[in-house]
Structure 1
């Protein structure tokens, strides 16, 4: 895939996810302010800063993955090796796209479950799925383009932290 279409696709997918999440997130509501929160809860300003950077990294890493190419065949390679490598890369990229779509649905879904549904236990389970999905996404990206996988590690770390934070909120607010 060429750079501009890959960049447009990655950016649009991340932008839609961020927009959906923002629309359902209501940190100024009284019910949220009244919740007991753990001592390790970051300040409110940390969330939009972190998510902006994380969404940018997801779009950047995904663009790198979608534009990955198999190096040109060398004259010393046996016939068909390059084509097998190309087919394998295309398969991995297709699977990455599916994993990315599922991850972004989970990402926006957590916001809806927590903020609109106010179901802290379900939000915690969903956050754990999102963390596992984010780790898997980084792994898949790394297999295709190591720099892209490394770029997704903060996202995997943040979503893992979010799962712990969700669990603590659920425990403090039965």
Structure 2
């Protein structure tokens, strides 16, 4: 078994309420500080790429995505427990390991982008997060007979959109940062 997770990381999503609640709670804690920042002159002064939704959209979309990814983790644990195929079980275990890794990257993005105001490191984090989410979706598809894909595909799509937004914000504001703000704000 190449992806031996600590038992706690398998047991927590075994309960569907905990599976959904953990990413909701972590996402809420991570996003709590953004309310003031998105109303600040710093955020309002950023140049943004076309298609940025109003900031009121984000607190609606993210809880739905967190709940969906949490339920997908529950389905992954169910696949680990019930699969008769060693390959499917290994894929589900790898997918669950990717779940915890991408959740950590997800929770880290908000303090990086909004707290540190570091759009470049945020972009690097989001790139890794998006890749991990897509690979997690791929690894869990077979063991769960595609069930997790229904929950994770919207998340992958939103992350792709977020990657476009973060990349656009970094790109459109890079010259200002290089001239006036210093490298710490990149």
Tell me the CA shift for residue 34 of structure 1: 1.6
Between the aligned partners of 1:161 and 1:152, the Cα distance in structure 2 is: 14
Q: From 28, 31, 48, give the equivalent of 1:19.
A: 28
Between the aligned partners of 1:136 and 1:17, the Cα distance in structure 2 is: 22
Between the aligned partners of 1:4 and 1:123, the Cα distance in structure 2 is: 27
Partner of 1:134: 133
When the two structures are superposed, what TM-score results if normalisation uses the length of structure 1?
Answer: 0.82
Pair 1:157 & 2:128 matched: no
The equivalences for 1:1-174 within 5 A come to 5-25=14-34, 26-68=37-79, 69-70=82-83, 82=84, 85=85, 87-145=86-144, 146-174=146-174
- Report the aligned-residue RMSD: 2.2
Bigger drift between 31-40 and 98-107 goes to: 31-40
SS of residue paired to 2:14: helix
When the two structures are superposed, what TM-score results if normalisation uses the length of structure 2?
Answer: 0.77
Q: Is the 8 A contact 1:138 1:150 kept in 2?
A: no
Tell me the CA shift for residue 3 of structure 1: 10
The structure, 1 or 2, with the larger RCO (C-alpha pairs under 8 Å, 6+ apart) is 1
Between the aligned partners of 1:148 and 1:19, the Cα distance in structure 2 is: 23
Tell me the CA shift for residue 91 of structure 1: 2.3
Q: 1:133 to 1:4 in 2, by over 3 A?
A: closer
Between the aligned partners of 1:47 and 1:28, the Cα distance in structure 2 is: 14
Query: Deviation per CA, 1:94-140, whole angstroms, max 9, x where unpaired?
Result: 22221011100110111111001111111112111111111112112
Q: 1:133 to 1:2 in 2, by over 3 A?
A: closer
Larger-gyration structure (1/2): 1
Unaligned runs of 5+ in 2: 1-9, 175-186
Unaligned runs of 5+ in 1: 71-81
SS of residue paired to 1:91: helix
